[in-house]
Amino acid sequence: MPPTFRVKEFKNTEKFLDRLPAGYDYALEFRHPSWDAEGRWDLLKHYNIAAVMIDSPEPDKLQFLSRPITTANHSFIRWHGRNVKPRYNYLYSKKELKLWVDKIYKISSETAVVRGYFNNHYGARAVVNALEFKQILGTSLSEKEKAVVENARNVFFQALKQSTLDNSLRQ
C-alpha cells in the first residue's frame, strides 16, 4: 500500500480483499503508522494474507512492522534500506543483516514459506545483500556468487571513497 494509505481505509481494504482470486499467496505492506492499530492482523489472518515485515529507515514510525508477525501460512520480509532519501540506495552491512537471523528462524517455525525482498537498486545492491543474507543463513554460495559479492562490494566502496574525496575537495 502507498505510504498515504491510512487505517481509516479499513473498509475499502476488506472490500478489495474479498475480491482477490483464490489459489495465490498474497502479502500486504502497511506503510502508514496509523495501521499500528487493533484489528489489522486479524483482518490479514482471516484472508490468509501475509503481513509484510520491513526493515526501514524510519523504525520509530513503523516499528510495529519490524516485529516478527505471522498472519498466513507464508510470510514476506522487505528490506527497504536505511537511507531516508533515496531509501533504496542502500547496501546493508553484514552486522545489520545478522539482526534479522533470529527473526527469520522464528518466522520460519510458524509458516511454511518465508520470502524476502531487498529493494531494487540500479547498482545491484539488492543482489549483493540477498547473496550475503543467503550465506549468513548458512547456505553456501557458488564460486560465481562469491565473486559477484566480492567484486560488487569493492566497486561500492571505491565509489564511496571517490564520492567522499570529491565532496571534501568541493569544500
Annotate 110-126 with b (16+ C-beta within 10 A) or e (fewer): ebeebebebbebeebbb
- Quick one: cell of 156? 561500492
Segment 38-75, tens digit of pLDDT: 778 898 999 999 999 988 776 566 666 778 889 999 99
- Quick one: cell of 47? 484472508
**For the chain, which domains are there?**
7-122 (3.20.20.410)
Is residue 45 within 8 Å of residue 72, measured between CB atoms?
yes
Segment 129-162, tens digit of pLDDT: 999 999 999 999 999 999 988 888 788 777 666 6
Is residue 33 within 8 Å of residue 62, measured between CB atoms?
yes
Segment 7-31, tens digit of pLDDT: 887 777 888 889 999 999 999 988 8
What would the DSSP string read from start to end of 131-166?
A: HHHHHHTTPPPPHHHHHHHHHHHHHHHHHHHHHHHH
Q: How far apart are CA 84 and CA 95, in angstroms?
A: 20
| Average model confidence (pLDDT) across the chain | 84
Residue type, 66: S
Q: How far apart are CA 127 and CA 137, in angstroms?
A: 15
Residue corresponding to grid cell 510458524:
110
First to last CA, the chain: 41
